[in-house]
Amino acid sequence: MKIALDPYMHRHVPLLELPRLVAELGYEYIELSPRADFLDWWVRPRVYPDRIKAFKKSLRDHGVKLASLLPMYRWASPHQVERVAAMRYWKAAIQVAVELECDTMNSEFGRGPSPDFSSNCFCCTGSKVESCEAAFWESMDELVPIFERESINLHIEPHPEDFVETIQPAVDMIRSINSKNVRFLYCAPHTFHFGDDMAKMIEEAAPVLAHVHVADTFNHKASSGLRYIINPPGAQVRVHQHLNIGEGEVNWDIFFGTLKKVGFDGIVTSCVFAWEERAIESSKFMRNEIQRYIDKYWE
């Protein structure tokens, strides 16, 4: 099992200093999420040979490895100009992974709709969802052979606001890709968007589950739907948090206990985003808490 840190709260740390910081925080692995000087959001990688070489050296010098790279590109956009651009960016990012000897990449099903859609496009229905899914499958047809050829794993998660937000059809879609290189990522802070029975959902995902994200969140459906109060009432939003373990309502004994039950042995990533003003303390706390639960259930 690999315990990794998503260093998004530390993204202002210079790239070459990041491995040192991650090691000092107690982690051996990084899940490198978007940052302006590497794989930035939605645009072509900001990477060149000298930067890759220097980052590899820094990783090696500090005894830190890449568990995964996390690109975010519009591979599910129904606008072909965007989707085709996303394919170019994905192919460039895959080559970055190859150069860094990183065997895993992860991403989301995708918000699909482009910036010129209406502001409430996240609640796509009917033809919009179908168009996003059609674009996603077209992208998979193009990318999966490359992942297989380069021996790189792709882990995909449904996300609030994506055209796929729930365990199903996400798990069935991944299984229907029918590639050993394409697996499922269960993101704990999205649990209450996924469904109501966390143990059942983890068990359902188990045949393709390779990666989990660990952060806490509140159940937005609780208290008669008033756990969060949104103004104006009924506004179409997708609220969730990425909090420290214990600050929300995820049942961590069920989460880790079920992972043990299904034989999980993949990547466990701390992905708290809520506390940039105390990012050091948060990252250290999460490393210790994750280890405590692993020791409890995998002893």
Q: Are 271 and 155 in contact (CB under 8 A)?
A: no
pLDDT value for 220: 86
Rounded CA-CA distance 67/72 in Å is 17
User: What long-range pairs does 60-64 form, CB within 8 A, spacing at least 24?
Assistant: 61/19, 62/19, 62/20, 62/22, 62/23, 63/23, 63/28, 64/19, 64/22, 64/23, 64/27, 64/28, 64/29, 64/30
> How do residues 92-150 score in pLDDT, each as one tens digit?
999 999 999 999 999 999 864 433 444 344 444 556 888 999 999 999 999 999 999 99
Q: Are 213 and 186 in contact (CB under 8 A)?
A: yes
The CA dihedral of 142, 151, 157, 209, to the nearest 10 degrees, is: 130
Q: Are 188 and 214 in contact (CB under 8 A)?
A: yes
pLDDT value for 299: 81
If one counts the domains in the chain, the total is 1
* pLDDT, average across residues 260-271: 98
> How do residues 267-292 score in pLDDT, each as one tens digit?
999 999 999 999 999 999 999 999 99
Q: What is the pTM of this model?
A: 0.93
Rounded CA-CA distance 128/226 in Å is 29
Q: What is the CATH number of the domain that holds 214?
A: 3.20.20.150
pLDDT value for 54: 98
* pLDDT, average across residues 2-23: 98
> How do residues 46-92 score in pLDDT, each as one tens digit?
999 999 999 999 999 999 999 999 999 999 999 999 999 999 999 99
pLDDT value for 230: 81
Rounded CA-CA distance 189/239 in Å is 11
Per-residue CA distances from 73 to 65, 192, 231 (Å): 24, 25, 31
> How do residues 200-250 score in pLDDT, each as one tens digit?
999 999 999 999 999 999 998 888 888 888 888 877 778 889 999 999 999
Note down the domain range covering 52: 2-297
pLDDT value for 39: 97
pLDDT value for 126: 54
